[in-house]
Structure 1
Amino acid sequence: MKKNYREVKEARVQEIKEKMEKAQGVILAKYQGLTVEEDTKLRKELRDAGVEYKVYKNTLALRAAKELGFDQLEDYFIGPISIAFGYEDPTAPARILNDFSKDHKVLELKAGIVQGEIFDENKVKELATVPPKEVLIAKLLGSFKAPLSNFVYALNAIEEKQKSEEA
């Protein structure tokens, strides 16, 4: 029986480790004090954004983090900790958890791993202010389009002026 329990723990550590490796953004948060309704609402928001939200035993999650070389996270695995894994957008878990924590003070951002770099609470909150990737791409495309549009308007104005002088 004891051997089987150990195998289950090892499999769970491997599962957490794989999720941490696959995710572009991993955010740790203290969730104790949320009501069932609040937790359900948070989970729905995260799920809608493509973020996986889990609660694991701290010892298992910490072991997985240490196996990946994130020993500095040990100080953050104190008390009940949830983990949000963002696979598509590295800023999504931080943004959603930070926004939710503004109305639900019991939810506290603790730390994160974003593209292999460890972020403390303050860096996670800064990361939360970064717009989604789609918004950043739209802004970039808009900044490319503006000078071209102005150039086209200038060419049209020159053409119109030449036509009016000819007439």
Structure 2
Amino acid sequence: MPVRRAQKEDVVAKLRDEFGQAKSIILTSHAGIKVNEVNELRSQFRAEGVTYSVVKNTLAKRALEGTDMEVLADSFSGTTAIAYSYEDAVSPAKIASKYAEKNDKFVLKGGYLDGTVLDADGVDQLAKMPTKDELRATLLRTFIAGPTNFVRLLNAVPTQMLHLLNARKKDIDEAA
């Protein structure tokens, strides 16, 4: 049953909305990879809150028309899948790059981040950056380091005084 024009327009509108909200977009090709391996990859993406789906190139190109991401249109050729997240720009690249290292048939075609088109090497560089959660953890450690050190310093004086008194008591007990 052929896809009707209205259905295609809905897909284009949905893709345009998703592209507009995504923090980054990673384009891949998984031609020649077994279905169960692709399903495993999809579950890895899903676990990190990343959407991964195969798109029809003509509809994706139409969705990009008139947007800043229109420069990606040439990358939509052959089998194309997109990975994107509304929360974290790094996670899609991290998962895709890691999987590409393990499987030669999985190809990183490129991507898009904050107005910049990425080639496969750019996607690998993006994958090396810390994720949003990793940045939050680092920031939290930085925030609590000062107060933690201050409390340790305040605690050190009474602790040292206690050790001094215990040593004096020991000396007195030995002398008696």
TM-score w.r.t. the length of structure 2 is: 0.81
Helix, strand or coil: the match of 1:131?
Answer: coil
Bigger mean CA offset, 145-154 vs 72-81: 145-154
> Using the alignment, how far apart are the partners of 1:69 and 1:127 within structure 2?
20
Match of 1:39? 38
One-letter identity of the residue aligned with 2:64: A
Match of 1:153? 152
The aligned runs of 1:73-92 (5 Å cut-off) are: 73-92=72-91
Helix, strand or coil: the match of 1:113?
Answer: strand
> Using the alignment, how far apart are the partners of 2:82 and 2:66 within structure 1?
17
Bigger mean CA offset, 59-68 vs 151-160: 151-160
Match of 2:101? 102
Match of 1:140? 139
Helix, strand or coil: the match of 1:94?
Answer: helix
One-letter identity of the residue aligned with 1:63: R
Higher relative contact order (CA 8 A, sep 6+): 1
Task: Give identity over the alignment, percent.
Answer: 35
The aligned runs of 1:2-151 (5 Å cut-off) are: 5-151=4-150
TM-superposed CA distance for 1:144, in Å, is: 2.3
> Using the alignment, how far apart are the partners of 1:67 and 1:53 within structure 2?
23
Helix, strand or coil: the match of 2:4?
Answer: helix
Helix, strand or coil: the match of 1:85?
Answer: strand
> Using the alignment, how far apart are the partners of 1:140 and 1:69 within structure 2?
32
Helix, strand or coil: the match of 1:83?
Answer: strand
TM-superposed CA distance for 1:9, in Å, is: 2.2
One-letter identity of the residue aligned with 2:27: L
TM-superposed CA distance for 1:61, in Å, is: 0.5
Gaps of 5+ in 2: 169-176
Helix, strand or coil: the match of 2:25?
Answer: strand
Helix, strand or coil: the match of 1:90?
Answer: coil
- Would the aligned equivalents of 1:90 and 1:115 in 2 still touch at CA under 8 Å? no
Output the aligned Cα RMSD.
2.3
> Using the alignment, how far apart are the partners of 1:78 and 1:100 within structure 2?
21
Q: List 4+ stretches of structure 1 deviating above 3 A.
A: 158-165
TM-superposed CA distance for 1:160, in Å, is: 4.2
One-letter identity of the residue aligned with 2:119: D
TM-score w.r.t. the length of structure 1 is: 0.85
TM-superposed CA distance for 1:11, in Å, is: 2.0
Structure exhibiting the larger radius of gyration computed from Cα positions:
2
Gaps of 5+ in 1: none
TM-superposed CA distance for 1:96, in Å, is: 0.9
